[in-house]
C-alpha cells in the first residue's frame, strides 16, 4: 500500500475519526462522560491539557485500545469495534507512551514489525514491506542504525526507531502520545517537523498529545484542550490559546504574543496561579 499522495487539507472533508458521546473509564475510575470530539481529516491536531486530564485516555479510546462504556468511536463512518482489528491497524497507527524492545532486537527488525497489519501467512515479506520500512527509517533518520541493537541506543534514538515502526505501518491516520518526551530540543523539533511533513506532504491526519504549549501553537492546525476529562476549548491555535484559557485550565498566568519567527501564538509564562 503506497502512502497517500499530495492533498491539501480540506475543511469540508468528513472527519474520518470521531468520538460520539463516549464514556471512558478504567480501573474503576471514570475519566470522561459523554465526550464528543471530531478529528478533522488531513489536519494536524494537538490535544493539550494538564496532567491527568484524560488526554491519553481519549487517544487510546480513539485508537481502539480502550473500550468506551457508553457511546462509540466512529472510524470512516462505522463503529470502530466492527472492523477486524487488522483493518483498524491499517487505517490508524498509534505510538503509545510505553513500549518494550525485545532483548537483542535490531533496529531494522523492530521497524519491520510495523508491517504486521499488512502481512499474511503467505505474504510474509513483500516488496511493499521493504519499501515502507526503508522509507520509514530514512524519514526518521535511523537508516545508519539499521543493524544495531535497539538496547544499545540512546533514549532519543530509540524514540525515533519506535516512530519509524509506526510510520512503516503506513496508516492515513497517525496518533502519537507524547512523542517528544526523552528527546532533546533539537530532536523534538525534528520529530515535529517530520510530523508536519507527514501531514502536509503525505496528507496524513495527525493527532498528537503534547505537553509543550508553544510547540502545539507552532505546529497544530487544530487544538483540543481538555481538563478533568472534558473538552474545554477547541479550534485554531490563535483562537484557543488565550490568557483566560491558560489561567482557567493550566493555572498559568501568561502573556500571549505572536511568535516573531512563525507568527503563531507564543505563550510567555508570567507565573502560576496557586488556586486550581
Partner 1 sequence: MSLDAVGSGDVRARTTLRGARVMRLGPVSLLVRTRALLTTLVLLGLVAVLAAYALSVGTFRLHVAEVVQILLGNGGGVGERIVMNIRLPRVLTGVFAGAALGASGAVFQSVSRNALGSPDVIGFTTGAATGAIAQIVIFGGSAVAVALSAVVTGLFTAAVVYLLASKGGRTGYRLILIGIGVGSILGALNGLMLVRGDLDDAISANLWLAGSLNARTWVHVWPVLVGVVVLVPLVAVLSRRLSMIEMGDDVARQLGVRVERTRLSAVFLAVLLAALATAAAGPIAFVALAAPQLYGRLARMSDLAVFGSASMGALLLIVADLTSQLLPLGLTLPIGRMTGIIGGIYLIWLLTRPRSV
Partner 2 sequence: MSLAVLLVGVVLVSFVVGEKNVALSDTLAAVVAFDPGNNDHLLVRHLRVPRTLLAVIVGCALGVAGAVMQALTRNPLADPGILGVNAGAAAAIAAAIAFLGTTDVVDYMWFGLLGAAVAGGAVYLLGGLRRGTDPVRVVLAGAALTVVLQALTQVVLINSEEAVFDQFRHWTVGSLQGRGFAVLGPVAALVGFGLLLAATLVRALDAAVLGSDISRALGVDPLRVWGLSALAVIVLAGGATAAAGPIGFVGLTAPHLARSLTGPDHRWVIPYSMLLSAVLVVGSDAIGRVVARPGEVGVGIVVALIGGPFFVYLVRRGKLVQL
Residues found near partner 2 in the complex (CB under 8 A): 27-28, 103, 154-155
Residue 88 touches partner 1, criterion: CB under 8 A:
yes
Q: How far is the CB of 110 from partner 2 (least distance, A)?
A: 17
Residue 146 touches partner 1, criterion: CB under 8 A:
yes
Q: Strands of 92-95's sheet, edge to edge?
A: 92-95, 173-177, 205-209, 44-48, 222-227, 230-235
- Cβ nearer to partner 1, comparing 55 with 60: 60
Q: Which residues contact 66 (CB under 8 A, 6 or more apart)?
A: 24, 26, 57, 60
Q: How far is the CB of 148 from partner 2 (least distance, A)?
A: 15
**145-179 core/surface letters (b: 16 or more CB in 10 A; e: else):** bbeeebeebeebbbbbbbbbbbbbbbbbbbbbbbb
Instruction: Look at residue 155 and give the partner it binds from partner 1, partner 2, none, a contact being a CB closer than 5 to 8 Å depending on partner kind.
Output: partner 2
Instruction: Look at residue 154 and give the partner it binds from partner 2, partner 1, none, a contact being a CB closer than 5 to 8 Å depending on partner kind.
Output: partner 2
- Cβ nearer to partner 2, comparing 6 with 29: 29
Q: Can you tell me which of 130, 184, 193, 228 binds partner 1, judged by CB under 8 A?
A: 130
DSSP 5: -
Provide the CA 42 distance to its chain's centre, in angstroms.
13
Q: How far is CA 142 from CA 118, 128, 200, 246, in A?
A: 22, 19, 22, 37
Residue 144 touches partner 1, criterion: CB under 8 A:
no
In the numeric block, the cell 480502550 is attached to 66
Which positions lie near partner 1, rule CB under 8 A? 2, 26-28, 60, 63-65, 84-90, 92-94, 96, 98-106, 108-114, 116-117, 122-131, 133-135, 138, 146-147, 149, 166, 169
Amino acid at each position: 500500500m503506497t502512502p497517500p499522495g499530495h492533498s491539501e487539507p480540506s475543511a469540508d472533508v468528513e472527519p474520518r475519526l470521531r468520538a460520539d458521546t463516549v464514556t471512558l473509564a478504567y480501573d474503576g475510575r471514570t475519566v470522561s462522560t459523554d465526550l464528543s470530539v471530531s478529528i478533522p481529516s488531513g489536519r494536524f491536531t494537538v490535544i493539550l491539557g494538564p496532567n491527568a486530564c484524560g488526554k491519553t485516555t481519549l487517544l487510546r479510546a480513539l485508537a481502539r485500545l480502550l473500550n468506551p462504556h457508553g457511546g462509540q468511536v466512529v472510524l470512516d463512518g462505522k463503529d470502530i469495534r466492527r472492523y477486524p482489528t487488522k483493518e483498524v491497524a491499517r487505517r490508524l497507527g498509534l505510538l503509545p507512551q510505553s513500549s518494550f524492545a525485545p532483548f537483542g532486537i535490531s533496529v531494522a527488525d523492530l521497524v519491520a514489525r510495523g508491517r504486521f497489519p499488512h502481512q499474511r501467512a503467505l505474504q510474509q515479506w513483500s516488496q511493499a514491506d521493504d519499501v515502507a520500512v526503508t522509507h520509514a527509517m530514512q524519514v526518521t533518520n535511523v537508516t545508519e542504525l539499521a543493524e544495531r541493537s535497539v538496547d544499545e541506543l540512546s533514549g532519543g534514538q530509540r524514540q525515533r526507531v519506535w516512530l519509524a515502526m509506526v510510520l512503516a505501518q503506513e496508516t492515513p491516520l497517525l496518533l502519537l502520545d507524547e512523542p517528544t518526551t526523552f528527546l532533546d530540543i533539537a530532536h523534538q523539533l525534528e520529530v515535529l517537523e517530520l510530523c508536519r511533513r507527514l501531514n502536509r506532504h503525505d496528507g496524513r491526519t495527525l493527532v498528537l498529545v503534547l505537553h509543550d504549549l508553544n510547540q502545539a501553537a507552532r505546529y497544530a492546525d487544530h487544538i483540543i484542550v481538555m481538563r478533568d476529562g472534558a473538552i474545554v476549548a477547541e479550534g485554531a491555535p490563535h483562537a484557543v490559546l488565550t490568557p483566560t484559557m491558560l489561567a482557567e485550565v493550566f493555572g498559568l498566568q501568561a502573556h500571549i504574543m505572536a511568535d516573531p519567527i512563525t507568527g503563531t501564538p507564543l505563550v510567555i509564562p508570567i507565573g502560576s496561579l496557586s488556586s486550581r
